[in-house]
Amino acid sequence: MKQDPRIHPFRDSHQDVAAADRIPDTAQTRAPAYRLAFTDSEFMCREELRPVRLQLELLKPQMMLDERGIRSTIVLFGGARIPEPAQRDRAKTPMLAELSRYYEEARHFARLMTVRSLESYGRENVIITGGGPGVMEAGNRGAHEAGGYSIGLNIVLPHEQAPNEYVTPDLCFNFHYFAIRKMHFLMRAKAVCIFPGGFGTLDEMFEALTLIQTGRMAKVPFLLFGKDFWEKIINWQGLAEAGTISAADLELFRYVETAEEAVAAISGFYGEGMGEAGGGQ
């Protein structure tokens, strides 16, 4: 975005980048020291620049979401390995094949919530996922099928990962820092929906629960899809009985099985107006 010369009388950075590209090719202009600092990727990736990179990763998505007028989101966490039902025969385990039904529930839930989002012209209740395959793809897919927007927060991993094709392209972000990515998941969160998943899903779930438990984040509907799965994986009652969490902490979340049940839980929490965003850092 170029500066308005009536407000900013100095040359803007775009003009100087263009001018720097037209300079004579000499030993001096080829030297790393001569590069403009903010266009020098080698310089920007130095160890000492980590605080700047952290700030940029926080700022870039924030600015772009603000420019789109997005005020609140519905967070979908869930396993990247859960296949859609049509591909369940390719699942690596019988359990993954069985869990494929949650792909359809995530897809249906995202579709229902996006219909609501469109009532606010896509400013409220926007689906946000990790942007990858499995449950994440299902969430973005459901929003796409409803004709609305959805956000994808991808992360650079050692193995190749690409955004799923259903993320709204100009709302598809990429991160280096897990911590900043997690902040963006929750900063506008009006509800957090957890589908069956692995380490990443568990990490995201417990981080969000801890923020709510400690009062660092306002309480929002926190929905776990699939009671049988979650009670098999985590002995919640055992944690309370051991005293490592309080009995009241078990009320921070609730189980749901279907998309319709999840929508009803969110509506019941906020009422017909669906309230304001409950996240924040």
Q: Write the CATH number for 236.
A: 3.40.50.450
| pLDDT band, residue 275 (cuts 50/70/90) | very low
Its pTM stands at 0.90
pLDDT of residue 75: 98
- Tell me the residue range of the domain where 262 lies: 68-270
Alpha-carbon separation of residue 186 from 25, 33, 129, 220 (angstroms):
48, 40, 11, 10
Q: Does a structural domain hold residue 45?
A: yes
Q: Is the same domain home to 25 and 164?
A: no
Q: Is the same domain home to 82 and 42?
A: no
| pLDDT band, residue 280 (cuts 50/70/90) | very low
pLDDT of residue 8: 67
CA 69 to the chain's CA centroid: 17
- No. of helices (H) and no. of strands (E), the chain: 12, 7
pLDDT above 90 as % of the chain: 80
Question: Contact at 8 Å (CB) between 201 and 194?
Answer: yes
Taking only the tens place, the pLDDT of each residue in 201-215 is: 999 999 999 999 999
Q: Does a structural domain hold residue 263?
A: yes
Give the chain's mean pLDDT.
92
What's the CA gap between 266 and 222, in Å, rounded?
9
What's the CA gap between 281 and 278, in Å, rounded?
10
Please name every residue paired with 188 in a beta bridge, in sequence order, or none if there are none: none
Check pLDDT > 60 for residue 274: no
Q: Is the same domain home to 146 and 91?
A: yes
What's the CA gap between 279 and 281, in Å, rounded?
7
Q: Is the same domain home to 38 and 77?
A: no
Taking only the tens place, the pLDDT of each residue in 10-61 is: 778 888 888 878 889 999 888 999 888 999 999 999 999 999 999 999 999 9
Taking only the tens place, the pLDDT of each residue in 172-207 is: 999 999 999 999 999 999 999 999 999 999 999 999
Q: Is the same domain home to 140 and 258?
A: yes
What's the CA gap between 175 and 157, in Å, rounded?
10
Q: Is the same domain home to 194 and 141?
A: yes
List all residues 6 or more positions away from 145 whose beta carbon is below 8 Å from its beta carbon.
107, 111
Question: Contact at 8 Å (CB) between 47 and 39?
Answer: no
Q: Does a structural domain hold residue 26?
A: yes
Give the three-class secondary structure for 126. strand
Q: Is the same domain home to 205 and 135?
A: yes
Q: Looking at the 3D structure of the chain, how many domains does it have? A: 2
Q: Does a structural domain hold residue 1?
A: no
Q: Is the same domain home to 32 and 143?
A: no
Q: Is the same domain home to 225 and 127?
A: yes
Q: Is the same domain home to 91 and 126?
A: yes
Q: Is the same domain home to 180 and 220?
A: yes
Q: Does a structural domain hold residue 215?
A: yes
Q: Is the same domain home to 37 and 82?
A: no
